[in-house]
Amino acid sequence: MIFSGVTRSTELSISNRGLAYGDGVFETMRVHGGELPLWPRHLARLREGARRLGIGLPDPAFIEARIAEMIDGADAGVLKLLLTRGDGGRGYAPPVDAQPAWTVALHPLPPMANAGLRLHVCDMRLAIQPALAGIKHCNRLEQVLARGEVERAGCDEGLMRDSEGRVVSATAANLLAHRNGRWLTPPVVRCGVAGVLRGWLLAQGLVEEAELTPGEVEDADALALCNAVRGILPVSLLGARNWAAHPALTELQARLAMAYPMFSNPAVGA
């Protein structure tokens, strides 16, 4: 196993399949008070991603021990865990004897948000692929190109649609739209990432899954983004539409902060 932290880096082999083909999965987790409050949900998604790709997962107890060493004494931060199939020869066929490789790295927490996010509608689309939908696999070129659009547009985040025009998510967060007194989030069964915070909101009955058209998003009473690092962030601008603070969003953020105090002050970046 490969292990890396903020104090040193690990050079991946040129034959590592994560580097060569994006053959792996990763988790990006919020550190709070020397712990990972959402770890069980991250572990569940990590297991599902490894299962779908057919990559062996180390004993969770071993992973947890290494994580504990990494975040010991860290009051706040972002921990990234990367799991790849390991080394393999040239060609797409996954080697049957590959030894999985994984790394963990601790990063500073992004700055806190001072205002609502400006959202750009991305031209880049997400390809429909149900076999990879939901998991956080390492093939993220769609998000890389979409994020470039966002930067050029001078915005904070990007609204992403699939190749058939359905609204899916932001580049690094799930979408929440408040319509007719309910919080709605698009399904991620065709593409997109099933965020762990999104999963918690669904499990608590605070959010429902529903297909959303671009017009329905723009017509929402309130719009927000959520992920496991940033919490729930308000969207203030999308195209020509502006949103002011909405009591439903304040209430949703308060419900989250009651369960996870680390989200009392949402962070800006992923």
| One domain, residues 121 and 250 | yes
Name the pLDDT band for 13 (thresholds 50, 70, 90).
Answer: confident
Q: Is the pLDDT of residue 188 over 50?
A: yes
Cα distance between residue 37 and residue 18, in whole Å:
27
Structural domain that includes position 84: 17-107
Per-residue pLDDT, 97: 83
Per-residue pLDDT, 2: 38
In a domain, 3, yes or no: no
In a domain, 266, yes or no: no
| One domain, residues 53 and 155 | no
Under DSSP, the state recorded for 221 is S
| One domain, residues 102 and 122 | no
Domain boundary among 63, 85, 107: 107
Task: Give the pLDDT confidence of 49-90 residue by residue, as tens digits.
Answer: 999 999 998 888 988 999 999 999 889 999 999 999 988 878
CATH value at residue 174: 3.20.10.10
Task: Give the pLDDT confidence of 82-117 residue by residue, as tens digits.
Answer: 999 988 878 888 888 888 988 899 999 988 777 899
Name the pLDDT band for 11 (thresholds 50, 70, 90).
Answer: low
| One domain, residues 140 and 230 | yes
Nearest CA to 162 out of 126, 213, 199 is that of 126
Cα distance between residue 9 and residue 145, in whole Å:
26
- Tell me phi and psi for residue 223, to 5 degrees: -135, 140
CATH value at residue 99: 3.30.470.10
Per-residue pLDDT, 193: 98
Task: Give the pLDDT confidence of 106-151 residue by residue, as tens digits.
Answer: 999 988 777 899 999 999 999 999 999 999 999 999 999 999 999 9
Per-residue b or e along 238-257, where b marks 16 or more CB atoms closer than 10 Å to that residue's CB: beeeebeebeebeebbeebb
| One domain, residues 80 and 205 | no
In a domain, 133, yes or no: yes
Per-residue pLDDT, 12: 67
| One domain, residues 138 and 46 | no
Per-residue pLDDT, 112: 77
Mean pLDDT of 229-250: 94
| One domain, residues 56 and 153 | no
Q: Decide if 51 contacts 166 (C-beta within 8 A).
A: no
Enumerate the H helices of the chain as residue ranges.
17-21, 39-53, 60-71, 141-153, 196-203, 214-218, 247-259
What is the count of structural domains for the chain? 2
Collect all residues with Cβ–Cβ distance below 8 Å to 11 and sequence separation of at least 6. none
Domain boundary among 107, 128, 151: 107
| One domain, residues 99 and 124 | no
Q: Which residue has 């985040």 as its token pair? A: 157
| One domain, residues 188 and 148 | yes
- What number of other Cβ atoms are within 10 A of residue 26's Cβ? 19
